Structure 1
């Protein structure tokens, strides 16, 4: 799952918006970080690990052509956000543009943005990244932007073709995984914050 999905999950679980995205830009233990940022980042890491282990995701990765299997996880993160936008009216009560606007406001209004993430957050809002998962040309532009951040950008050359080739399977898997993931997030937060327990 990519930025949009993590922000949706943060709203759904009443966890920190900044933490839900900043986790991609923070390395190492989370204990030194303040709350509620720490819980938001811990939940992000849980989501990434849960999705990576899901049988449906493992099957999808295996369906990619050999030249793109090493970047299949990146492509699926973007493709799942594409599916979230496509199915948005059935999954969320607010219009997507309103959700995106409020997400930007929440991110930029946070007093806890990690220093390494703060410029990214401003760029994310300024360039409206959250609107770039749909339609197809915007998603393809997002893939090109992600490729520029890789040490080997050629690994994502023509990779968008794999997303469209597997679109039906990705859509079906997303619709199965999404409610399971939301439930797993609630269980994770309950288990980790129960009596005598704490988030990492």
Structure 2
């Protein structure tokens, strides 16, 4: 799953959201140096990644991309699943996506002192282009995939995955719904474990 899903699956605890959001830039046991709630967010992020990568529904979705995009098929699939979360946001939250995004961007700004350098350097682009809201539309997805392709030095032309998204739209969306319900439950159990409940 990509940024929007990771933040959403963190619930309402601010520092846990931040930990989950920036976890990719924290390697190994480096998470130990952070505040308890940040640590929980990092561990939840790792749980989400592990659950996702091994899940048969997600693997079925990703398989459609593998021949063309190889190693990057997982990166692309994470972004495509965020599209379906953003597009169907009202199924999962009573708060408008635009408001949710704005509140999260403000949360990042207010907690800049604890963010990793990688997140700080990424934030201006993310906020200016409003990634969370952009995920909801095909045009927004084209922009995000182009940016990811630029970041990876145009190795596989990620923006071309819009073709696969449109060709298999119904299949991807139905797979997302099934997978995401299971992921939500798994994260609820994981959060209880992390909170010692």
Preserved CA contact (<8 Å) 2:65 2:73: yes
Shift in Å at residue 33 of structure 1?
Answer: 2.3
Q: Give 1:152 deviation, angstroms.
A: 4.9
Cα deviation, residue 194, structure 1:
2.6
**2:32 aligns to what SS in structure 1?**
coil
For 1:94 and 1:15, how far apart are their aligned partners in 2? 19
Q: Is the 8 A contact 2:14 2:107 kept in 1?
A: no
Instruction: State whether structure 2 residue 31 is matched by structure 1 residue 5.
Output: no
User: Contact (CA 8 Å) 2:19, 2:40: kept in 1 or not?
Assistant: yes
Structure 2 portions without partners, runs of 5+: none
Q: Is residue 32 from structure 1 mapped to residue 30 from structure 2 by the alignment? A: no
Render the CA deviation track for 1:142-164: whole Å, top value 9, x for unaligned. Answer: 00100111155335262221122
What TM-score do you get using the length of structure 2 for normalisation? 0.88
User: Where does residue 167 of structure 1 map in the other structure?
Assistant: 169
Kindly report which structure 2 residues correspond to 1:72-111, keeping only aligned pairs within 5 A, or say none. Answer: 72-110=73-111, 111=113
Range moving further from structure 2, 7-16 or 74-83: 7-16
Q: Which consecutive segments of 4 or more residues in structure 1 shift more than 3 A?
A: 12-15
What CA distance in whole angstroms lies between the structure 1 residues aligned with 2:66 and 2:119?
33
- Aligned mates of 2:131, 2:63 — CA distance in 1: 28
- Aligned partner of 1:55 in structure 2 is 56
In 2: Cα distance, 1:139 partner to 1:60 partner: 17
Unmatched 5+ residue regions in structure 1? 196-200
Change (3 A) 1:164 1:137: same
Tell me what 2:42 maps to.
41
The change in CA–CA distance for 1:94 and 1:9 in structure 2 (over 3 A counts) is same
Structure 2 equivalent of residue 140 of structure 1: 142
- The count of corresponding residues between Structure 1 and Structure 2 is 195
- SS state at 1:154 partner: coil
Structure in which a larger fraction of residues adopt helix? 2
Cα offset for 1:65? 5.7
RMSD, aligned α-carbons = 2.1
Higher RCO, 1 vs 2 (CA within 8 Å, ≥6 residues apart): 1
In structure 1, distance between residues paired with 2:146 and 2:18 = 25
